[in-house]
Amino acid sequence: MKILFTRLIQSPLLEQIPKEYEVVMWEEENKIMPRNELLKEVSDADAIFANLTDRLDSEFFEHAKKLKIISTMAVGFDNIDLQEATKRGIPVGHTPDVLSEAVAELALTLMFACARRVVESMQFIRENKWESWGPYLFAGQKISGAKLGIIGMGRIGKILAKQAKALNMEVVYANRRRDEETEKALNVQFRDLDSLLKESDYVVMLAPASEETYHIMGYREFSLMKATSIFVNVSRGSTVDEEALYKVLSEHGIFAAGLDVFEIEPIQKDHPLLSLDNVIAVPHIGSATKETRDKMVEIALKNIFNGLNNEQLLYTVNE
Ligand code: DGY
């Protein structure tokens, strides 16, 4: 049996891999396994420990002749041709739940950082521009008591709603389906997208990438938001039309945006969004706490072992 790891994973859990298994790992830290290597190495692999940066498309599946299990160390799986995997009877495992708190915490981090203009303020100090305390110097927005609109009320959305309630926020959500149980349990209210955008002081994108959610935030949608409101994306870049976001931010149609994800990752240094003071951008670190990543590795490995042993995966997206 051969297990292919497309990224360097350094974890004592790897010692659990039976000695008779062959392990092939791409060992360049924080670098993607080159496409030709991936296609070559997957050709005789039984299992793949993949990541959200790997494109598992029809070309990949043509090479993956022996593959029995795909395990991605992520909650999102829009990089995987699920139909093709299912057609070939390959279970696809992912790692939800264990990362929900971390991703929700990053959403809050970006909300706070945008609201209180933290990055801009630090830059101001670095540039030695601080002359004295000012009555409205870097005056921003308040979070406590404000209204949060969550687009996509799944696992992460529910955790974020709970965290926001602790900050005395009112929470509304837009979702494909209304979820009355969650409304009662968390004291949140359902809205259509337009109403949510009009009412909310903070809008957090948590809807997964799909054809349906492609560019659901365009210029029309951003224009519905208040000039004082803040947009945060910790889901996938494809949900946002970045040109539209740039336009609305430059026109001060909204107060700021906190972005963990981008249409093309890595976002390039000369991207117009990065030239704006009212943008805070971080490099797709939603689930990046040590503890969370350890748990994601644990689940992704367990999914591999279960898959190779023809057992039910801990979390699967196509069964
Ligand atoms: C995932 O795992 O899909 C998320 O992007 C984590 O940030």
- Per residue in 158-194, pLDDT tens? 999 999 999 999 999 999 999 999 999 999 999 999 9
Quick one: which atom of ligand 1 is closest to the CA of 261? 5
From atom 2 of ligand 1, which residue's Cα is the shortest distance away? 74
Each of the 319 residues of the chain gets a pLDDT tens digit; together they read: 999 999 999 999 999 999 999 999 999 999 999 999 999 999 999 999 999 999 999 999 999 999 999 999 999 999 999 999 999 999 999 999 999 999 999 999 999 999 999 999 999 999 999 999 999 999 999 999 999 999 999 999 999 999 999 999 999 999 999 999 999 999 999 999 999 999 999 999 999 999 999 999 999 999 999 999 999 999 999 999 999 999 999 999 999 999 999 999 999 999 999 999 999 999 999 999 999 999 999 999 999 999 999 999 999 999 7
Q: What pTM was computed for the model?
A: 0.97
Distance CA 146, CA 128 (A): 33
Expressed in angstroms and rounded, the spacing between residue 76 Cα and the centre of ligand 1 is 6
Distance CA 227, CA 100 (A): 29
**Which residues line ligand 1 at a C-beta cut-off of 6 Å?**
52, 74-76, 99, 103, 286-287
The confidence score (pLDDT) of residue 319 equals: 74
DSSP 113-181: HHHTTHHHHHHHHHTT---S--TTTT-----TT-EEEEES-SHHHHHHHHHHHHTT-EEEEE-SS--HH
Structural domains in the chain plus CATH codes: 2-95+290-308 (3.40.50.720), 100-281 (3.40.50.720)
Q: Which of 71, 103, 109, 238 to mutate to test the pocket of ligand 1 (most atoms within 8 A of CB)?
A: 103
85-131 pLDDT tens trace: 999 999 999 999 999 999 999 999 999 999 999 999 999 999 999 99
In this structure, what DSSP letter does residue 182 have? H
Cα–ligand 1 centroid distance for 290 (angstroms): 14
- Which pLDDT value is given to residue 59? 98
- Is 22 in the active site? no
CA of 97 relative to ligand 1 center, distance in Å: 11
Q: What gap in Å lies between CA 199 and CA 206, rounded to an integer?
A: 18
Q: Which of 46, 54, 8, 3 is nearest to 27 (CA)?
A: 8
Residue type at position 173 = Y
Average pLDDT, the chain: 98
Atom of ligand 1 nearest to the CA of 284: 7
Q: Which of 84, 120, 183, 265 is catalytic?
A: 265
Distance 139 CA to ligand 1 centre (A): 32
Buried/exposed 229-247: b ≥16 CB within 10 Å, e otherwise: bbbbbbbbbbbbbbebbbe
Question: Which numbered atom of ligand 1 lies nearest the CA of 285?
Answer: 7
Point out the catalytic residue in the list 284, 291, 298, 319: 284
236 catalytic, yes or no?
Answer: yes
Contacts of 248 (CB under 8 A, 6+ apart): 219, 222, 223, 225, 254
Side-chain half-sphere CA neighbours of 222 within 13 A: 27
Q: Structure tokens of 110?
A: 């970006």
Task: Specify the ligand 1 atom closest to the Cα of 77.
Answer: 3
**Residue of 7, 117, 191, 236 marked catalytic:** 236
Ligand 1 centroid distance, CA of 17 (Å) = 25
Q: Which of 49, 71, 99 to mutate to test the pocket of ligand 1 (most atoms within 8 A of CB)?
A: 99
- In 10 A of CB 134, how many CB atoms? 9
| 212: its two tokens | 């349906």
